[in-house]
């Protein structure tokens, strides 16, 4: 089928990397793997972070114009079979897809939405109501985690779609040896190597980095080193947070996607406090590379990390709990190895792209059936 794809937060061809962009790209890839023709229907970034009503109204007007333009260009012969929107919430609603779907008489599908009732009546009330209206219209809603599903209306229309990725090829031993040499990592009496990976930007990411630095300072008397993969506008603040740990922390900057699996495979433990994390693509990538994880138990992280099986979940935003969890796994190499293998197996069985393609195929066929019943002869 022909699928019109839209990501209001950030289009999949945006130049700045993020977990949101990664998932948008993966969704398009999974839809294509299921045999569908996928087109990027719109690039409008609808995010309005300040609660500015006039800006929200302007974005709504732009969305209405873009919807009208899309409908005019995609008449009967060029009409998509379905509209698919990824990630909408009160700061980034979909001002385009619901209008197009109604006017063309095609089903509307949403993946990863969230609803915050406390935004009703506040500065984002207009956008909040737009999200609710879009979900009311959706034929199928695809939450990515159980915690995500719990905040959404119309549970009878929810369908399972766990976060997923394209499984990387295991790096060859010679490539890992070359990378260790490139990074001048010791091979004899080497300390346990912790790894973290995330964009460095203000807000939740910076808060996570600061909490990680605080936790590791509590166990500075133990034998370990940390590699930090990532870059961004808050790099200065991140480096300042880790400064008390000196040379035990190395910043490698942004790593190319095709080299990320190799870098992750160097470590023995992935560490990330996950402040305000929806689920964490970097956590999923680390698990795919066979790393056990210590993470904060926020958002949908527990849908990825089975506590005591694939890693340990620390109390949310608690540096002491996080430090203790890291200590437990530093002290037990055998347990780390078992957890890492369990993490790899879980990703392979539940969070790989082929499984996502099958889930999407079932959901989209169901949405088409619902659309045929709803629109039928009413199609323009």
User: 258 near 235, Cβ under 8 Å?
Assistant: no
Record: fold of 2-165+352-378: Rossmann fold (3.40.50)
Are the C-beta atoms of residues 285 and 150 closer than 8 Å to each other?
A: no
What gap in Å lies between CA 347 and CA 124, rounded to an integer? 37
DSSP string, 261-298: HHHHHT-SEEEE--TT-SS-HHHHHHHHTT--EEEE--
The whole-number pLDDT of residue 17 equals: 86
Task: Give the pLDDT score at 377.
Answer: 43
Looking at the DSSP bridge assignments, the partners of residue 311 are: 293, 307
Q: Where in the chain is the domain with CATH 3.40.50.2000?
A: 2-165+352-378, 173-350
pLDDT score at 33: 97
- Whole-prediction pTM: 0.90
Can you give the pLDDT of all 380 residues of the chain as single tens digits? 999 999 999 999 999 888 899 999 999 999 999 999 999 999 999 999 999 999 999 999 999 999 999 999 997 778 999 999 999 999 999 999 999 999 999 999 999 999 999 999 999 999 999 999 999 999 999 999 998 999 999 999 999 999 999 998 889 999 999 999 999 998 778 899 999 999 999 999 999 999 999 999 999 999 999 999 999 999 999 999 999 999 999 999 999 989 999 999 999 999 999 999 999 999 999 999 999 999 999 999 999 999 999 999 999 999 999 999 999 999 999 999 999 999 999 999 999 999 999 999 999 999 999 888 876 544 54
Helix or strand holding residue 16 (H, E): none
- CATH architecture, range 173-350: 3-Layer(aba) Sandwich (3.40)
| pLDDT for the residue 162 | 95
Residues paired with 293 in a beta bridge:
270, 311
> How many other C-beta atoms can be found within 10 angstroms of the C-beta atom of residue 37?
11
List, in sequence order, the alpha helices (H) in the chain.
19-33, 53-73, 97-104, 125-137, 146-150, 173-182, 204-217, 235-242, 257-265, 281-288, 301-304, 319-330, 333-350, 353-375
Q: Where are the alpha helices (DSSP H) in 293-332?
A: 301-304, 319-330
Helix (H) or strand (E) holding 15: none
Whether residue 142 contacts residue 108, with contact meaning beta carbons closer than 8 Å, is answered with no
pLDDT of residue 376: 59
User: How much is the pLDDT for 186?
Assistant: 83
Q: What are phi and psi of 150, to 5 degrees?
A: -65, -25
Q: Give the C-alpha separation, 226 to 280, whole Å.
A: 19
Distance between CA 216 and CA 324 in Å, rounded? 10
Local structure of 309: helix, strand or coil: coil
CA angle 60, 159, 117 (to 5 degrees): 45
pLDDT of residue 380: 47
Angle at 269 between CA 268 and CA 270, to 5 degrees: 135
Q: Residue holding tokens 């950030």? A: 10
Rounded-to-integer distance, Cα 88 and Cα 27, Å: 15
């Amino acid at each position: 089928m022909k699928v019109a794809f839209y990501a209001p937060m950030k289009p999949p061809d945006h130049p700045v990397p993020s977990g949101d962009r990664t998932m948008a790209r993966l969704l398009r890839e999974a839809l294509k793997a299921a045999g569908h023709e996928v087109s990027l229907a719109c690039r409008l970034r609808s995010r309005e972070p300040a609660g500015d009503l006039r800006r929200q109204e302007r974005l709504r007007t732009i969305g209405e114009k873009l919807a009208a333009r899309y409908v005019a260009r995609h008449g009967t012969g060029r009409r998509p079979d379905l509209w698919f929107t990824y990630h909408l919430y009160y700061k980034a609603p979909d001002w385009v897809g619901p209008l197009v779907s109604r006017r063309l008489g095609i089903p509307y599908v949403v993946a990863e939405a969230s609803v915050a009732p406390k935004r009703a009546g506040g500065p984002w009330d207009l956008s909040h109501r737009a999200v609710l209206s879009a979900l009311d219209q959706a034929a199928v809603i695809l939450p990515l985690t159980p915690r995500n599903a719990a905040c959404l209306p119309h549970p009878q229309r929810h369908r399972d779609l766990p976060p997923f990725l394209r499984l990387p090829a295991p790096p060859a031993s010679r490539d890992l040896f070359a990378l260790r040499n490139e990074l001048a990592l010791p091979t004899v009496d080497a300390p346990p190597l912790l790894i973290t990976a995330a964009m460095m930007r203000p807000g939740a990411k910076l808060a996570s980095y600061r909490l990680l630095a605080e936790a590791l300072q509590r166990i500075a008397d133990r034998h370990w080193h940390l590699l930090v993969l990532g870059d961004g506008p808050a790099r200065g603040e991140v480096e300042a947070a880790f400064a008390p740990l000196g040379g035990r922390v190395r910043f490698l900057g942004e790593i190319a996607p095709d080299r990320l699996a190799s870098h992750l495979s160097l470590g023995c433990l992935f560490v990330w406090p996950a402040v305000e994390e929806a689920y964490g693509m970097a956590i999923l990538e680390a698990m795919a590379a066979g790393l056990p994880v210590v993470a904060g138990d926020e958002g949908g992280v527990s849908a990825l990390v089975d506590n005591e099986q694939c890693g340990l979940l620390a109390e949310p935003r608690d540096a002491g709990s996080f430090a203790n969890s890291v200590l437990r796994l530093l002290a037990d190499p055998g347990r780390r190895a078992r957890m890492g293998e369990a993490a790899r197996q879980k990703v392979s069985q539940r969070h790989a792209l082929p499984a996502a393609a099958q889930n999407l195929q079932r959901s989209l066929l169901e949405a088409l059936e619902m659309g045929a019943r709803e629109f039928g002869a009413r199609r323009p």
